[in-house]
Amino acid sequence: MSKVYLLGAGPGDPGLLTIKAKNILEKADVVVYDYLANKEFLKFCRKDAEIIYVGKKGGDHTLPQDKINELLIDKASKGKIVARLKGGDPYVFGRGAEEAEELIQAGLDFEVVPGVTSAVAAPAYAGIPLTHRSYASSVSFITGHEDPNKPESAHNWQALATGTSTLVFFMGVKNLEYISSNLIQAGMRSDMPASLIHWGTTCRQRTLVSTIAEIPEVARAKGFRPPSLLVVGEVVKLKNRLDWFEKLPLLGKGVVVTRAREQASTLVSKLEELGACCYEFPTIKIKPLDDYSHLRQAITDLDFYQWIIFTSVNGVKFFWQELRGMGYDARALGLTQVAAIGPATASALRERGIFADFIPDKYVAESVVDGLLKLGIKGKKVLIPRAKKAREVLPEALRTAGADVDVLPVYETVLAQSLDVDALLEQFQSGKIHYVTFTSSSTVDNFFSILDAEKLKPYVLSGNIKLACIGPITAKTLQKYGFDPHIQPEDFTIDGLVKAMV
């Protein structure tokens, strides 16, 4: 049955979307979203869902409100489930009620899913509680978007200026002088603490603290623009004491993640927890092979191998997919010892019931060889499930040590397609990118097959962009293109890379 869901997308941090809103996005036929609704939410949508952007930004309307109303009615009238994704909460200065009234008039079903409003979330992320027993026992939410030229204001400025409420003005940056002068003229003292919060709850958040009299001038000097929230009241005094979000070590730092999209989530989530703005630019794509007959034969003959060495999480994944498809489970490896090149690979094995018999101290092929030599690999039959194209260091060194090695491709890495290089260069030029991360040699090679190294050099030489490599092998590949890494952890893992960046 058709229905329109008016969804509150929250203030910007994708983690603040409600579970109910996520569930609706996952089933919707059509998703209509606003400028302030985080694009990350579109990842929850069905692949076949129709996605329509209707954002309004600083008076520039992609679609006027009456046309948005018509769009919702049209899609729902055709039997569609429509998710109308609105920034913040639909009923807090979001015109959600107007859309609901139009739906009712058209005889269509609708449902409202409240969202976390920026009026609450942005101050909380800025260290400003809206109420506090010592400072304020009530809150007023006010639109700052009034036309200053109209003959009479809708606000009771005297009540706002002389009450004890914390005042939160939406969309007030353009009218800061108007708001400031009206509050002071109505009786508010000129040194009342005031704060502007720009892009609250996102990695782009920044805050200024001033007084109600001086904040228009300070905001101009600091270049504050919409979307920004104005908070006025004694509670602003608590910002320095209660601030937590703006102390995150990577807040506002733009980081390019070149890992395959299937693997990027771990690195992205760790960086975002520390405040970074992540730009996914997956240079490689992980693909299954067309023919798995060799893998199926190897699985049938597992008892002939004394060691299986997994060199990546993907190797574990594709090996296990075929293993399970043949009706086997972890018991198939019961007579075979298992090595993992690093903790992430070992963790992938544990999830499938296998505890690695060997994990090297350093997570590169050379260390695997050294460790296995001590464990008596000489004369043993070894299977290495891995990518179709990979470094030959490990199998060649094991053969030199006297092992009988079978290399078994179980997946392949290919150059990612449809990457927007111009958009990435635009981010470089705007100064929004501070780091480019590389987690394997293939990410380096593919990155520079997509982007000419000469186009990156000016930003690196100026110190505006730093290059981060997960380990020495990746760093060596980077040097082929004329760059030395600025950051390289001693622990060649994703955790190590993130710590080194911090």
How many angstroms from the chain centroid is the CA of residue 73? 32
HSE-up (13 A, CA, CB side) for residue 282: 16
Residue with tokens 């782009």: 204
DSSP characters over 236-282: GGGHHHH--GGG-TTTT-EEEE-S-HHHHHHHHHHHHHTT-EEEE--
Report the alpha-carbon distance of residue 199 to residue 285 in Å, rounded: 33
Cis amide leading into 227 (omega within 30):
yes
Report the alpha-carbon distance of residue 180 to residue 165 in Å, rounded: 16
DSSP 8-state class, residue 349: H
Marked catalytic residue, from 29, 34, 89, 445: 34
Report the alpha-carbon distance of residue 31 to residue 155 in Å, rounded: 35
Active-site annotation holds for 89: no
Active-site annotation holds for 381: no
Task: Give the containing element (helix H, strand E) for 131.
Answer: none
Report the alpha-carbon distance of residue 109 to residue 471 in Å, rounded: 56
For 32, 89, 129, 277, the CA distances from 45, given in Å and listed in that order, are 11, 20, 34, 22
Active-site annotation holds for 34: yes
How many angstroms from the chain centroid is the CA of residue 226? 22
Report the alpha-carbon distance of residue 471 to residue 221 in Å, rounded: 43
- How many other C-beta atoms are found inside a 10 Å radius of the C-beta of residue 498? 21
Report the alpha-carbon distance of residue 206 to residue 227 in Å, rounded: 11
- How many other C-beta atoms are found inside a 10 Å radius of the C-beta of residue 445? 18
**82, 109 Cβ separation under 8 angstroms:** no
Marked catalytic residue, from 3, 20, 22, 56: 56
Report the alpha-carbon distance of residue 495 to residue 487 in Å, rounded: 13
Marked catalytic residue, from 13, 171, 188, 445: 171
Report the alpha-carbon distance of residue 476 to residue 293 in Å, rounded: 35
For 59, 77, 200, the CA distances from 226, given in Å and listed in that order, are 11, 35, 11
Which positions are catalytic? 34, 56, 171
